[in-house]
Structure 1
Amino acid sequence: MLQILKQYPSVAVAFSGGVDSTLLLYAACEALGKERVFVLRGVSELVSKRESTAAAALLRELNISSKQILEIRLYPLIWPEFITNSPERCYFCKKRMYQTFQRSLSISDDPVLLDGSNVDDLKSHRPGSRAIQEFGIKTPMLDADLNKEDIRSLAKRFHLSNHDKPSNSCLATRLLEGTEIKRKLLLTVEECEDFLLERGFSGCRVKPNGLDVVLELAENDAALLTNSPVHVEIICFFKSKGFLRVLVDLHPRI
């Protein structure tokens, strides 16, 4: 991966704060020096405040200069093709996002735009990957044949603090296909997930389904749910948010 990165005069890393983009950013700085590496952060309602704060903390941890960070405001809730929440939602989002990123880079030193895709991303249907290919975004970890296990192992080896962070995705992925993506619903999801995180559920996802809500929990969170009175708190809180039933997916999140 370092050899791949060294062929570029300068790069801009699409940074989410997940382990993939964090390792890619770390490697780019190692290969090129921090002065030749830019960081692009998309800011929108699709990213929770908790995730945005954590991403900013990682950049400080990596000693990335504020001069190298471009925070770019995105407006997905006015994109008609996105808010209908079709199976191609992620394609439309990635397309708009990378269009905006490329326009932003045209005013700088024209660095090569990088995405943190890896080999495991090819194993499932990911419409967003099509947009990455269409725009010619470079994917050094994919080109270096790195999978998720490799990435976590390398992140741990180089002492990146989020090496064991559970996989995450934008808040819109919590909504059933065909459910219109609205600001109020995204905020409800964020508040419910924050409620669970504050009570020790480290890998949770909250998925509304009409008046029901389905909790997806990491395997180590299942015991917390069944062995403590916290489930009473959960029921009360979720009902206060307008849900009638709180259901649990028995398949643990990986």
Structure 2
Amino acid sequence: MVHGVSELISEREKGSANTILDELQIDLERRVEVALHPLIWPEFVANTQDRCYFCKKRMYQSFLRSLEKLEIQVLLDGSNVDDLKSSRPGFRAIHELGIRTPLLDSGLNKDDIRTLASEFHLSNCSKPSNSCLATRLPAGVQITQEYLNAVEKYEDFLLSRDFTGCRARPEGRDMVLELSGIDGNRLLTSSMRIEIIHFFQSEGFSRVLIDLIPRR
């Protein structure tokens, strides 16, 4: 099992990954941890529309080099059918490097995978989908450690108020919140709204906007 560690992953996500490895009973000697440093990749920090392609290619090349030392020749990617519904530049890197996609090839979507995870009693069976912290920044905004730390702080605040699966997307002086359907309803009918507005205003944002397309 290959586990990539970098500045793009929040501390809570790192902890969650280790929990799943424990639940899958992956022995320590079978875990390959690869340290990645995307903030020194100029084509990545430029944050163009192809950011995910550059990142995934560098990342999987690092994985393949580590696995080659262990005489392992096949690397599997966890993409699923639902990933085909949106633009995914990273797929180009997957195809170029010959990475296998068993979940996608089997026609499984997110709901199917959550059902299987539940059958195997994995704690992430109902966990909302997530992506790296860099995906919160608009294209063209240079990716820095300060930006990543800020996004993690914003989302930790929302999580501390039980807004699970939330994403905080800073866009200039505006903070755009992407929430699940249930969380969106709770925000609009609760005094929590005032607390959230005050928090983001204290962080320098003039407006707090809600993405009306709920997350799955």
TM over 0.5: yes
Question: How far is the alpha carbon of 1:104 from its aligned partner?
Answer: 0.9
The whole-number CA distance in structure 2 between the counterparts of 1:173 and 1:240 is: 23
Tell me which residue corresponds to 1:165: 127
Report what 1:240 is aligned to: 202
Q: Quote the Cα distance in structure 2 between the aligned partners of 1:86 and 1:159.
A: 39
Distance in structure 1 (CA, Å) of the matches to 2:12 and 2:177: 19
Q: Specify which of 149, 154, 160 is matched with residue 187 of structure 1.
A: 149
Say if 2:165 is the partner of 1:198. no
Tell me how large the CA RMSD over aligned residues is.
1.3
Q: Deviations over 1:190-231 (max 9, x none)?
A: 111010011010121100001111011111002321232222
CA distance in 1, matches of 2:16, 2:204: 29
Aligned to 2:93: 131
2:61 aligned to 87, 93, 99, which one? 99
Distance 2:185 2:82 in 1: 29
- Mapped to 2, the partners of 1:122 and 1:212 lie a distance apart of 29
Count of paired positions = 216
**1:157 Cα deviation (Å)?**
2.1
Amino acid corresponding to residue 117 of structure 1 in structure 2: S
1:115 deviates by 0.6
Q: Give the Cα separation in 2 of the matches to 1:205 and 1:152.
A: 20
Task: Measure, in 1, the Cα distance between the counterparts of 2:83 and 2:209.
Answer: 29
What does the per-residue CA deviation read over 1:58-97, in whole Å, with 9 as the maximum and x for residues that have no partner?
1112221111111111111111111111111100000000
Q: Which amino acid aligns with 2:195?
A: E
- Per the TM alignment, residue 232 of structure 1 is displaced from its structure 2 partner at its CA by 2.2
For the residue of structure 1 that corresponds to 2:75, the secondary structure is: strand
Question: Unaligned regions of 5+ residues in structure 2, if any?
Answer: none
Q: Which residue of 2 aligns with 1:64?
A: 26
- TM-aligned CA deviation for residue 185 of structure 1: 0.8
Task: Look up the equivalent residue of 1:60 and give its one-letter code.
Answer: D
Structure 1 position 247, deviation (Å): 1.4
* Deviation at residue 111 of structure 1 after TM alignment: 4.0
Matched residue, 1:88? 50
Q: What CA deviation, in whole Å up to 9, does each residue of 1:136-166 have, x standing for no partner?
A: 0111112222222221222222222211111
Is 1:77–2:46 an aligned residue pair? no
Q: 1:142 and 2:96 equivalent?
A: no
Q: Separation in 2 of the partners of 1:129 and 1:165?
A: 23
User: Which amino acid is the alignment partner of residue 155 of structure 1?
Assistant: A
SS in 1 for 2:122: coil
Encode CA deviations 1:103-125: one digit per residue, 9 max, x unaligned: 11121132411111122222322
Code of the aligned partner of 1:136: G
Percent identity at matched positions? 59
Of 106-115 and 197-206, the range deviating more from structure 2: 106-115
Could you tell me which residue of structure 2 aligns to residue 116 of structure 1?
Answer: 78
